[in-house]
Amino acid sequence: MFYDVTPVSRLFLGTAQYPSPAVLADAISASGSEIITVSLRREGAGGAHFRDLLQASGCHILPNTAGCHSAREAITTARMAREVFGTNWVKLEVIGHADTLQPDPFALVEAARELCADGFEVFPYTTEDLIVGEKLVEAGCRVLMPWGSPIGSGQGLRHEDALCSMRAHFPDIPLVIDAGIGAPSQAARAMEMGFDAVLLNTAVAKAGDPVAMARAFAGAVESGRLAHEAGLMGRRDMAVASTPLFGMAALT
């Protein structure tokens, strides 16, 4: 559950960079996503027509503070987004490094604390750092969104061990892999590891066929989750025969 919403789909989809509004609408439909993200800056560029398109999708809209580089800027943007979209949900981004777009953990926690106190339901874009995660939960966040790798890089899950540690450390907190997913196989891997959802944008929007790619990611997320629930076999250091020796013919 993500605050008070329990979607069937575990794929969250971003709405930027699509070649046309029609392609965006078709991609959202093909993805099966029930939660879509949009930045206030993007909404401002598209105006009421873009907002109508998003609302027509029937999805829950998750405004984000993309492009903010300070706690104050992110807080102000979140409050503006609440006015525009009529929701207390916000994907909180406070960027601290221009090249990697890594979040600023100090400003992130500061902004999260104030927004949670102001009634927002915060989805913080963070790293896999456990201490930062704890501070965000203490601030009032009931969801954490660690990056897989830098935004738009397509590198997938760069630090799997650290992400697995985060999953184990926060067993009761919904965790969403946000950023860096470039292929359906990477999304499936995140779900196999026990994450609750995957959020992506560029991998679909910039694909040769965004609608087909959205459909591919939908299948990958579903299959990865099914594999996790079924119970993956553990890795072994040595080969183990699948056919038992008992009952084999004795050749003399």
Q: Alpha-carbon distance 7 to 143, whole Å?
A: 14
The closest alpha carbon to 209, from 15, 27, 13, belongs to 27
**Rg of the chain on CA atoms, in Å:** 20
Would you state the structure tokens that stand for residue 231, as one six-digit string?
């119970």
The closest alpha carbon to 150, from 87, 91, 69, 96, belongs to 96
**Residue 179 annotated as part of some ligand binding site:** yes
135 annotated active-site: no
Please name every residue paired with 124 in a beta bridge, in sequence order, or none if there are none: 92
The terminus-to-terminus CA distance of the chain in angstroms comes to 63
Order of strands, sheet of 121-126, starting from the edge strand that comes earlier in the sequence: 145-146, 121-126, 89-92, 60-64, 35-39, 11-14, 197-200, 176-178
**Residue 88 annotated as part of some ligand binding site:** no
Catalytic residue, chosen from 42, 91, 113, 225, is: 91
The closest alpha carbon to 150, from 159, 142, 161, belongs to 159
**Residue 74 annotated as part of some ligand binding site:** no
Please report which residue ranges of 118-209 form alpha helices under DSSP H. 130-139, 160-169, 184-192, 202-205
Q: Could you tell me how far CA 86 lies from the centroid of its own chain?
A: 22
**Residue 201 annotated as part of some ligand binding site:** yes
Helices (H) and strands (E) in the chain, counts: 9, 8
Which residues carry out catalysis? 91
Which residues line the annotated binding site for 1-deoxy-D-xylulose 5-phosphate? 152, 179-180, 201-202
